[in-house]
Structure 1
């Protein structure tokens, strides 16, 4: 009985922590209680425990709780321990030097992609909003579309229906048939584009890093403001992006895809 109670408390603590991680401005005990259905005293007890360990922070003036910096510390250890980041770091840095633009490495997790490595641009003051650990849906990102294009269509359809489809921008594809047509284009070209579908004013070209089965859980991308990402520029970036994709794929033991 005590073991069941402990597991239940752990589940509740994780529920609270996930809500705080997703909240931009933090949440009060009352808001967390309303969101989870937990009694305020239970929420307070769990938050107090997480505050002592640095997973949660409390603003004394407003009584608003936020996710603590200890999570960032732990996430950095996780990223450092990912073999894929170590293997991809040098090729991605070379891609950054060659293009002068921001380069990303992401991994698929559920219906989302997670940024696990980033090399900032060297050609201007504009910085991408992305950061290590940030999550975005697969369907509205170039890297996500590149990954999904390596999956069987029935799995793509299933993931689409599991996802919370909404327009992140006016350019986001929110129609299933249109998205499936986009998948066919990505498969034919060997790379995917994000045409301001995730962030207004930003385009990117992405390619999936496939495993020995030809299926991807990782992808790389080059992103830049639309002022520097004309169709002609995209065409120029295609070869270096696919070359680095092939290099990272080979380093991870995957099969190099036909261009």
Structure 2
């Protein structure tokens, strides 16, 4: 568990972090740093840019947004998502464009549908 938290602490500094830097600063093997970074990315805690460096992802940014005022976009959009879902009878997703992660979802009534769980990155 401690190994997984080290890269997370490094990401909080909001500086781009390569796998090599994560390994050196965390005191783990590069392969371990790669696996941990990939899992943080998969779970939305990190994003990876074109330069292959990792940065804070939407989950980590949201955790730091507790002091931010204003409504959550998911709460504001929810009635619209539900209305659209009722109108078209299909699954409706809200996606944060800066990060490929489902923010909110309503399920289709159809037997065959595509679903994505809120908070899950793709």
TM-score w.r.t. length of structure 1: 0.25
Higher strand share: 1
Contact kept, 8 Å, 2:11 with 2:17, in 1: the verdict is yes
Larger Rg: 1
Segments of structure 2 that go 5 or more residues without pairing to the other structure are 70-122
Aligned residues: 69
Segments of structure 1 that go 5 or more residues without pairing to the other structure are 1-9, 80-115, 119-259
Q: Does 1:64 align with 2:53?
A: yes
Partner of 1:49: 39
Q: Does 1:12 align with 2:12?
A: no
Q: Secondary structure at the match of 2:44?
A: coil
**Once the 2 structures are TM-superposed, how far is the Cα of residue 73 of structure 1 from its aligned partner?**
2.3
Q: How does 1:1-259 map to 2 (within 5 A)?
A: 10-24=1-15, 26-59=16-49, 61-76=50-65, 79=66, 116=67
C-alpha distance after superposition, 1:62-113 (max 9, x if no partner)? 110111021222444xx3xxxxxxxxxxxxxxxxxxxxxxxxxxxxxxxxxx
Q: Secondary structure at the match of 1:66?
A: strand
Q: Aligned-residue CA RMSD in angstroms?
A: 1.9
